[in-house]
Structures are given as structure tokens and as C-alpha cells.
């Protein structure tokens, strides 16, 4: 199972990780709006627009997945590795994404794990502190939580 992880470095989510199974989403919408998948705190992360950015991916069997982030005309911009981006900027595992100038920053990570039988887990899964995580070895059975759609 292909998983997308966001390891938050700054902002209201600093020190946490969110995990999204790529097969359950076609894209991840980022912003303060309640309908966003990656939702930020309206007061603590005020530079993040209501509908700030979208992260999309595609892959075919036997091919490496391709990821891109597009800014949705946000007020404060979207940055990848310090560079402001517009539409469909490529993303690779390990890239730093910042939502707004001076806004929350996360490391974008992708990993592949063996698919397990569904145990009713909800997504995105969250880990309270990155100190609890050995480098990208996240036990999905202990991760809980989902942003309501």
C-alpha cells in the first residue's frame, strides 16, 4: 500500500505526522476550510488560505508514482524547498512544503508498506509526536483519526 506522510515541522501541527493511504484519495486538498483533507487551524495558521493548495498523484502498475502540488491562488503562496510554486509543481519524497510565506511547513514523504486487512481504521492517521516514530516505521494499528469530509 502506498502511503503519503506529512511530517509537520512548524505551525499548529508541529511535531506530528499525518498518514494518508494513496488508494483512498485521488488528491489531497489543503487549507483551513472544513472540507479540506489537510486542514489547518484558522487562528494559529492564519497565513493558510481557506482553499490553499492541492496535492495530486498518479501511477500505473509497475511505475513509480508521480506527485505534484498546485497553489489554488492562495493569498500567501505555496513553497516547495523554499521556491514559490504555481500549477503542477513536481513533488518528491523528502521535499519541504510550506503553506504561505512564514506558514506551516511539512516534509512530504512517500512510502510503500504491505497492505493489511482493513480493521476499520480511519484516515488520515495521526501520530502525536515524531519522537515516537522510528524513521518511517509507522505502525498503522496505533494510528487513528480522520478529518470529516
**Considering its fold, how many domains does the chain have in total?**
1
Cell 505555496 belongs to 78
Q: Residue 33: which domain range?
A: 2-142
* CA–CA separation, 90 and 111 (whole Å): 17
CATH number at residue 121: 2.60.200.20
pLDDT of 139: 36
Give the model's pLDDT for residue 124. 62
Q: Is residue 147 part of a domain?
A: no
Give pLDDT, residue 115. Answer: 66
133 class by beta-carbon count within 10 Å (0-12 exposed, 13-18 middle, 19+ buried) = middle
Smallest CA-to-CA distance from 74 within 54, 56, 59 is with 54
In a domain, 31, yes or no: yes
Residue 148 lies in a domain: no
Q: Give the pLDDT score at 121.
A: 54
Mean pLDDT by groups of 10 residues along the chain of 149 residues: 95 97 93 96 96 92 90 97 96 98 97 66 53 40 34
Amino acid at each position: 500500500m502506498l502511503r503519503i506522510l506529512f511530517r509537520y515541522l512548524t505551525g499548529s501541527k508541529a511535531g506530528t505526522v499525518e498518514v494518508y493511504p494513496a488508494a483512498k484519495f485521488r488528491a489531497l486538498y489543503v487549507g483551513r476550510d472544513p472540507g479540506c483533507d489537510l486542514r489547518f487551524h484558522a487562528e494559529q495558521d492564519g497565513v493558510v488560505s481557506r482553499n490553499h493548495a492541492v496535492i495530486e498523484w498518479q501511477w500505473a502498475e509497475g511505475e513509480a508514482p508521480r506527485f505534484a502540488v498546485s497553489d489554488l491562488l492562495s493569498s500567501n503562496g505555496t513553497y516547495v524547498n523554499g521556491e514559490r510554486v504555481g500549477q503542477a509543481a513536481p513533488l518528491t519524497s523528502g521535499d519541504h512544503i510550506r503553506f504561505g510565506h512564514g506558514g506551516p511547513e511539512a516534509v512530504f514523504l512517500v512510502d510503500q508498506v504491505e497492505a493489511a486487512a482493513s480493521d476499520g481504521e480511519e484516515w488520515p492517521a495521526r501520530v502525536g509526536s515524531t519522537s515516537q516514530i522510528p524513521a518511517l516505521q509507522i505502525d498503522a494499528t496505533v494510528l487513528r483519526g480522520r478529518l470529516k469530509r
